[in-house]
Structure 1
Amino acid sequence: MEKDPDTIVEHDIFPFIRIYKSGRLERLLGTSVVPAGTDPVTGVISKDVQINPTTGVSARLYVPPHIPSHAKLPILVYFHGGGFVIETAASPTYHNYLNSLVSNARILVVSVEYRRAPEHPLPAAYDDCWEVLAWTASGSCPDEWVSVYADLGRVYLGGDSAGGNVTHHMAVKAASQGIKTKVSYYVTHGLEGAAPLVQSLKIQ
């Protein structure tokens, strides 16, 4: 009896993904998600915004609580890690980290939900991240949080792992397109660089 191709492993990239002969893809890590909303610990508010309905590209936006009506906040466009194949902007790791960062630094964060490989090979992720960066920094962003609170003179880029790679590519392209950004950091989630980052975002 011939085996079901849906159960025959063709590529086992442990511990990240497993691809079956039928083409079915199984992600082994980074599949948990948490909803946007008000964080009960920090009071930080987040929401999900669709950027491109055709590609499905979206972003999770974060703002601190109790923003004065006249305030203009630094913006951090954040690119999550995961080797371009796992994790999302809604992963607990990134959601909790950015809640903490926004609370301490008093910034606006745009966390990019880009398309992942292998379903969408590179440069799909780069294209998506660029689209969100341009959407954020255009000066005519339709989102109310960005249009009201964002200080477009203080746009930072940051990410970890694959997101660090994206940060580099976005910084280079932004410079060539005349979008002024600052590369904040390349980090892992040990948060070793969190304190200096918080201070730099507050004072610049």
Structure 2
Amino acid sequence: MDEIMKVIRETANIKQEDLLHDFRPLFVIYKDGSVERFVGTQFVPPSIEGVTGVESKDVVISAETGVFVRLFKPLSVTSDEKLPLLVYFHGGGFVVETVASPLYHNYLNVLSSKANVIAVSVEYRKAPEHPLPAAYDDSWAAVEWVRLGLAGAEPWLSTHVDPARVFLAGDSAGANIAHHMAKRIAKCNNPDGKIALKGLVLVHPYFWGKDRIGSELQKLNSSESRFDRLWKLAYPGTTGSDDPLFNPEMDPELSVLAGEKVLVFVAENDLLRDRGVHYKDLLVKSGWKGEVQVIETEGEDHVFHLYNPVLPKAAELVDQFVAFINSS
């Protein structure tokens, strides 16, 4: 959270009349069309991390788009040991952040170490330069790359992953992506087979809708929120905030979701809190046959665990995440 406060101070002198879109402290778009991002711009190279005991490497999966993934592998894994696989999609409203930022590089290092998993962190192209559905298409390309990797194309995956224990996860916009990738897996008719997904972890998922629900009625002063505006910016071709990509309640095929179980994290002070709880209710009502659970963190806000990883509540969230994966 200190990083966000620093951005707020540093951008206070930007003139509103120079801006086309103002989404501080995340980013702004100037009237000339240029985009200035204030978070997630640092690049941390892959490494062997001494504290967590995790090795990482980058693999470009599309020379055409430049999309890549960052793989994480515990150094302690033995030659014949099979670990769960975690495919992770980072957040950032489809506009900011990257797998190589300190925020996500460090977080995936911790998840890989504590859960003892091979992790694949997916870098997708971002709006507004690459409007949606680019992020969904890039993420699906990564899922397909994982499938081929499990079949032998990537040694870290084919050697060390148990293909019966594959999980998708993400936070915020990345949780939205993870949900839709689980839907695509369920609908995939690839003759070469598809990923057998075990479970899904959605941390503070970025879902919304035209009509206000729950505490949104008291917390929002206008009918159009920052989330509505950001969604339209990221996806100019959208039908609006009730687009099934943004509002699961409008998806007639919600029950077509791969995996046996879903864990949804919500935070009490997060404006998206009620959407996460509502997602569970919708999934149950849809007839989906798996198990879905919601865990709420009291007194915290959106993705607090990333900005304040030393907090006891952040450690508790990670422990619950890890327990979900290792209970399979």
Q: For this pair of structures, how many residues does the alignment match?
A: 198
Moved more, 16-25 or 151-160: 16-25
CA deviations 1:26-64 (Å, max 9, x no partner) are 112221221111112111000111000101110000000
2:179–2:200 Cα contact (<8 Å) kept: no
The 3 A distance-change label for structure 1 pair 160 and 11 is same
Per-residue CA deviations over 1:57-103 (Å, capped at 9, x if unaligned) read 10000000121111111100000000010000011111111111111
2:102 maps to 1:86: no
Equivalent residue number for residue 195 of structure 2 = 179
Give the letter for the 2:178 counterpart: T
- Decide whether the 8 Å contact of 2:201 with 2:321 is kept in 1: yes
Give the match's secondary structure for 2:178.
helix
Alignment of 1:44-55 (within 5 A): 44-55=54-65
Q: Which residue of the other structure, out of 8, 16, 28, is the alignment partner of 2:38?
A: 28
* Aligned residue identity for 1:140: A
Is the counterpart of residue 156 in structure 1 residue 173 in structure 2? no
Query: Post-superposition, which runs of at least 4 consecutive aligned residues in structure 1 deviate over 6 A?
Result: none
Equivalent residues of 1:167, 1:183 under 8 A apart: no
> Greater CA radius of gyration, 1 or 2?
2
Structure 2 letter corresponding to 1:125: A
Give the 3 Å change call, closer, same or farther, for CA 141–79 of structure 1 in structure 2: farther
Alignment of 1:5-154 (within 5 A): 8-138=18-148, 139-154=150-165
Alpha-carbon displacement from aligned partner over 1:162-190 (angstroms, at most 9, x marks no partner): 01100110111111115321333222323
What SS does the aligned partner of 1:10 have? strand
Q: TM-score, normalised by structure 1?
A: 0.90
Indicate if the aligned counterparts of 2:70 and 2:99 stay in contact, CA closer than 8 A.
yes
Q: State the partner residue of 2:181.
A: 170
Coordinate RMSD, CA, aligned? 1.7
Which stretch of structure 1 is more off in the superposition, 162-171 or 186-195? 186-195
What SS does the corresponding residue of 1:97 show, helix, strand or coil? helix
Cα contact 1:42–1:100 (8 A) shared by 2: yes
Q: CA deviation at 1:191?
A: 4.8
CA contact (8 A) 2:178 2:200 kept: no
The whole-number CA distance in structure 1 between the counterparts of 2:53 and 2:316 is 23
Q: 8 Å contact 1:184–1:197 — kept in the other structure?
A: no
Identity %: 50
Indicate the SS of the match to 2:112.
helix
Q: Which amino acid aligns with 2:94?
A: F
1:194 paired residue among 318, 323, 328 = 318
**1:82/1:141 CA distance change after superposition, 3 Å:** farther
- Larger strand percent: 1
Please say if residues 94 and 127 of structure 2, whose CA atoms lie closer than 8 Å, have aligned partners that are also in contact: yes
Q: Bigger relative contact order, structure 1 or 2, given CA contacts below 8 A and separation 6+?
A: 1
Is the CA contact 1:74–1:108 (under 8 Å) kept in the aligned structure 2? yes
Contact in 1 for aligned 2:27/2:37 (Cα 8 Å): yes
2:216 aligned residue: none
